[in-house]
Amino acid sequence: MVQQITPETTIEVIYPESDGQPMADNTEQFAWIVKIKENLEILFASPADVFIAGDLFWYPVQGNPNIKQAPDTMVVFGRPKGKRSSYLQWNEDNIPPQVVFEILSPGNTLKEMTKKLQFYQRYGVEEYYIYDPDKNDLNGLLSSGDSFEVIEEMNGWVSPRLGIRFILTPNTLEIVSPTGQKFLSPLEIDQLREEERQRAEQERQAKEAALQELEAASQEKEAALEELEKERDRYQELLAKLKQKGIETDNL
């Protein structure tokens, strides 16, 4: 009797793209997530190998969908831009996000944040920033070997990877790009764009008005020259008529 050998069944591992939870607990938290993520997108628009995402599941271990986190914002140097349903690290040259941001809300618990810290520490995050907009409190941690070290002074701190500067004012956090441009909300960016459009339109109108004045002055000059030419022709015609009548014109 010949025994038939059946091939082993490969079980497909599902890596969920959503946990069914909202991206943010309140409008303030959401606004900060959007501001940081979108301004980083603007800052790193030119390099093709900087991937930035917000609230995207990061799976660092193939075959284990239970090991995951969805940072409010993450930055990965060395990976191309593009659409992703989740960040499967083994499909990304095994490069973990180097920089992670978390924006706190009243719903965040100490246990939850401790688990996130341990996760980011274990799986290779280099810079971890936590901002509480309600308390206007910013904390940063920097990778040192197998652990994180707390950044003692965050006011004025410059991210080694991103080059951005954090400035804590009495009321809020300001983030400044290496070029000195403040991170702005989408509304502020749109207002700035509109102001620039209006300024450009005013300059265009001013140049157009100046050009019209030059054209008008040029036309007046041409008209004056034409009139002068006509006067010269009339003068020459008069001289010719006087000569025909025998009148001496040399002294005229």
Q: Which of 81, 80, 85, 107 is nearest to 25 (CA)?
A: 107
DSSP per-residue string spanning 59-100: E-STT-TTS-B--SEEEEETS-----SSEEGGGTTTPPPSEE
DSSP assignment letter at 32 = H
DSSP per-residue string spanning 171-226: S-EEEE-TTSPBP--HHHHHHHHHHHHHHHHHHHHHHHHHHHHHHHHHHHHHHHHH
First to last CA, the chain: 140
Position 44 scores a pLDDT of: 98
Position 67 scores a pLDDT of: 97
Q: Which of 26, 38, 76 is nearest to 186 (CA)?
A: 38
Position 60 scores a pLDDT of: 98
pLDDT confidence tier of residue 12, bands split at 50, 70 and 90: confident
- Average pLDDT value for residue range 61-79: 97
- Average pLDDT value for residue range 127-133: 97
Q: What is the pLDDT of residues 213-252, one digit of tens each?
A: 888 888 888 888 888 888 888 877 877 777 777 777 666 5
- Whole-model pTM: value is 0.74
Mean pLDDT lowest among 35-44, 97-106, 130-139, 199-208: 199-208
Q: CA quadruple 68, 38, 184, 178: dihedral positive or negative?
A: positive
With beta carbons less than 8 A apart as the criterion, state whether 25 and 105 touch. Answer: yes
Tokens representing residue 26 in the block: 């309140």
Mean pLDDT lowest among 18-27, 72-81, 112-121: 18-27
Tokens representing residue 45 in the block: 């628009």
Q: What is the pLDDT of residues 145-202, one digit of tens each?
A: 889 999 999 999 999 999 999 999 999 999 999 999 999 988 888 887 787 787 788 7
Position 10 scores a pLDDT of: 57
pLDDT confidence tier of residue 131, bands split at 50, 70 and 90: very high
- Average pLDDT value for residue range 121-131: 97
